[in-house]
Structure 1
């Protein structure tokens, strides 16, 4: 199960797989319990987190047989829920070379072998639909300027492109409505491609999040103002997607973390989270995916991000943030989260579930190896 070409180690902090495994008893481990969330009957509570891989054709956004096999392996291993890499909803939504799309017939058709392969292995797979907004460059979007709530450039360089982020165009009201429609169409396209549903990427400083973010949104119309008003764009996207595919097939990812401002945190985290959650309830969301870099980081009054969200949210919650199995199990047992998502470990270990169940050593994630190949 291991390879001499990779370092073998426990990738989870505080977990020694060679001393009695991860858990006292597999039978009593909630991670391996089936669960019904929305329309999805999951065989366990382990999710594959969305991770940008950039292995689509750069010109067409079409995925190939390597991507089919990449997801098939994780389904064969027994992952409960697979959330794909970000899939862009339009040419202007693109922010990295080689990312896939879901807005042309060719792209839709290229995803069908992926979903068929996952379903054949008994898996559940949803498409993360994505628009990067200002975190892009005109050379990635066919010569068109990036779109954003305001004409304010993000700080830093485009990942894997090594050019500074362009100053975006401020979206008109017509632009905003067009993009909302593109999200809804992307959700319908995902269903046509055979996906079991979608995750709306509303996190990490990308377009939807840029509207919520006071440093990126200086609008004075109904899409700007205080946090409740800045949530209007997110609210309308979610409403459109739910109308297109149903609340039982819609997951929303959101975060405090901004990709171009890693030290950012709301001035009053608990108040901000309550404002987000009130909007989620208003639009009829039933499933959310709060995202943090480190799940256990305390952000207010001894609580981590997910614990604060749980104070106000009684629906389904997917947890993520460099979780190790014991942390995930503890959070599941406490009821903070319903499903635990793992990221880089699943890139390095296609047989992640098998290794965890059998207390076998893991291959340690190595960016030099795993960023340049699909394993």
Structure 2
């Protein structure tokens, strides 16, 4: 592509309740810079998000924000369940809004991929008592064997999602993204690898999506469909090679569930936006084949690929991850055709602020 103006990428757009300055989003990325004991974010996080809003990013999706102490899966992740956490987030949202930006909280429960020392001394929660393989990132201890959730546990966690969404609005967020991807709790219910239940929350894929649907209904009832985004994926952080046996059929089943509960905005997630997964189509192309609503696209995107995907109508908003860690002025750089700083995990882990 020779077009360096990126007319579509820099175009304002309204999705749901959000009037975005550009068709760009900051992808949610776990940073682990909250106080480890309290889950409260500090001034460094305020400035981190303010800079990206000042650059013109249309929609900022925060790092995963846990809905309960038991939902925590990494040291230093923030929460949105205590008054102190809500108050701290207010500074972030005020700073972003002061730059004319839009920011939503990604609400998160990691389910089985944690350790009791992180989850308040309690065993991890999961649809079935099946241990994940591997070790907890940044903690380096093996995942614990989880406790199979009772129907009462399930209802309690659904209520925690709804309360987290209400807390996010109280903290000044413009809405939430429900993290239903990457092998975390909702995706553990969705997956035949981690869900061996025989009640209404198990069975075939349509049955396994019941928990996700109930979470979506509760959050939509709490804050509205126009402020609710759902992220879903075949990708699992503890099983990176996993793929649905029939990707198009799985996508159709997910989309039927989204229609059933009134979802209007979705965020299909992949590590490689251009990877063909079925019928000579990428994940987002398959989703667009069956979904007429809003799609936020993500997957190691660059500006040219994003511009083309928006032009073609495959996605409505393009989400960028690592380039925005390395380049707080990412949009300024691509708009002026200036070179980008290359993301380096060791360097930017400490300098991203």
Q: Which residue of 2 aligns with 1:14?
A: none
TM-score norm. by structure 1 comes to: 0.93
Q: Could you give the per-residue CA deviations for residues 243-277 of structure 1, whole angstroms, max 9, x where no partner exists?
A: 00000000000001011111111111100000000
Structure-to-structure mapping, 1:166-245, within 5 angstroms: 166-245=144-223
Q: Cα offset for 1:37?
A: 0.1
For residue 319 of structure 2, the aligned residue among 307, 321, 341 is 341
Q: Could you give the per-residue CA deviations for residues 285-305 of structure 1, whole angstroms, max 9, x where no partner exists?
A: 000000000000000011000
Q: 1:104 to 1:23 in 2, by over 3 A?
A: farther
Q: Which residue of 1 aligns with 2:9?
A: 31
Q: Could you give the per-residue CA deviations for residues 214-269 of structure 1, whole angstroms, max 9, x where no partner exists?
A: 01000010000000000000000000000000000000000010111111111111
Number of residue pairs matched by the alignment: 353
Contact 2:228 2:263 in 1 (8 A): yes
Two-structure CA RMSD over aligned residues (Å): 0.8
Q: Which runs of 5+ in 1 are unaligned?
A: 1-21
SS in 1 for 2:195: coil
Q: Which runs of 5+ in 2 are unaligned?
A: none
Q: Which residue of 2 aligns with 1:302?
A: 280
Contact 1:88 1:102 in 2 (8 A): yes
Q: Cα offset for 1:374?
A: 3.2
Structure-to-structure mapping, 1:108-127, within 5 angstroms: 108-127=86-105
Q: Which residue of 1 aligns with 2:301?
A: 323
SS in 2 for 1:363: coil
Higher mean alpha-carbon deviation, 347-356 vs 364-373, is at: 364-373
Runs of 4+ aligned structure 1 residues displaced above 3 Å come to none
Contact 1:67 1:374 in 2 (8 A): no
Q: 1:23 to 1:99 in 2, by over 3 A?
A: farther
Contact 2:4 2:335 in 1 (8 A): no
Contact 1:277 1:313 in 2 (8 A): yes
Q: Could you give the per-residue CA deviations for residues 107-142 of structure 1, whole angstroms, max 9, x where no partner exists?
A: 000000000000000000000000000000000011
Contact 2:326 2:352 in 1 (8 A): no
For residue 310 of structure 2, the aligned residue among 329, 332, 353 is 332
Give the Cα–Cα distance (whole angstroms) in 2 for the partners of residues 221 and 195 of structure 1.
36
Q: Cα offset for 1:25?
A: 5.1
Q: Which residue of 2 aligns with 1:16?
A: none
TM-score norm. by structure 2 comes to: 0.99
Q: Which residue of 1 aligns with 2:51?
A: 73
For residue 106 of structure 1, the aligned residue among 84, 92, 99 is 84
SS in 1 for 2:117: helix
Contact 2:4 2:337 in 1 (8 A): no
